Amino acid sequence: MSVLETDGEKLLIALRELLAAKGLVSNAEIAERIALTDAANPGQGAGMVAKAWTDPAYRALMLQDGTKAAEELGIPMRGAPPLGVLENTGDVHHLVVCTLCSCYPRAVLGYPPFWFKSAAYRARAVRDPRGTIAEWGTVLPEGVKIHVVDSTADYRWMVLPRRPAGTEGWDETRLAAIVREGDMIGVTVPALPGA
């Protein structure tokens, strides 16, 4: 059977046609939303992180109101849940998970990595966070506590990672290039290329 003939696809087409027929959501609006979702990518979040690393006022805004900080960089946030940003420090490291389903800061990071929705990641991140991030080779310095952020309801969470040593004097573009999606949900920390 072709994927276009599955029950799910038929249901989707029927729903879209009903929404359009009733004037609730037009096909153009659906297409616009799909385009926005497809266009979102980790480079947007990385741009926010790099700006926060170089601009103290922007960092303060980002920690106060992630949605406003994203919009300031031109990232479309209309219709997206409110964005919260939590900062990693020398004392606390944050790890983001959604144990109930797949809540992810898609507006600023794009589609989640495939494992983010896996039962294994969701179950293990809250029970054994240190063992979980060790799968990525991430080992926290002595004394650093982990705060596991379980996105259960109406917010979406992103991590502002620590700026790595050796990047003094780098501009935003160069800094943004070293920030990966894993750094912004806390499974990894930014590292210099080749380090």
Partner 1 sequence: MADLAPGARVRVNDDWPETRGPVHVRTPHYLRGQPGTVVRRFGEFPNPEDLAFGRPAARRVLYHVAFDQPSVWQEGSAGDQLLVEIYEHWLEPA
Catalytic: 101? yes
128 binds partner 1, rule: CB under 8 A: yes
Q: With CB under 8 A as the rule, give the number of residues binding partner 1.
A: 21
Nearest distance in Å: CB 146, partner 1: 5
Residue 88 token pair: 């990693």
Nearer residue to partner 1 within complex by CB, 118 or 152: 152
124 binds partner 1, rule: CB under 8 A: no
Residue 79's Cβ-side half-sphere holds a number of Cα atoms within 13 Å equal to 10
142 binds partner 1, rule: CB under 8 A: no
Piece of the chain touching partner 1 by CB under 8 A; list 9-17, 44-52, 144-152, 165-173: 144-152
Q: Which of 151, 163, 185, 187 binds partner 1 (CB under 8 A)?
A: 151
Q: Which DSSP string do the residues of 70-135 spell out, in sequence order?
A: HHHTT---TTSPPEEEEE--SSEEEEEE-SSS----HHHH-SPPGGGGSHHHHHHHHH-HHHHHHT
C-alpha distances out from residue 63 to 59, 93, 130, 153, 174, Å = 6, 15, 25, 19, 22
Nearest to 50 by CA among 138, 170, 165: 170
139 binds partner 1, rule: CB under 8 A: no
Nearer residue to partner 1 within complex by CB, 12 or 100: 100
Catalytic: 102? yes
Nearest distance in Å: CB 130, partner 1: 6
Nearest distance in Å: CB 151, partner 1: 7
One-letter identity of residue 129: P
The C-alpha atoms of residue 52 and residue 176 are separated, in whole angstroms, by 10
The C-alpha atoms of residue 83 and residue 180 are separated, in whole angstroms, by 18
Long-range contacts of the stretch 1-6 (C-beta < 8 A, 24+)? none
146 binds partner 1, rule: CB under 8 A: yes
77 binds partner 1, rule: CB under 8 A: no
Q: Give catalytic residues, as residue numbers.
A: 98, 101-103
Q: Which residues bind to partner 1, rule: CB under 8 A? A: 82, 86, 94, 99-100, 126-130, 145-155
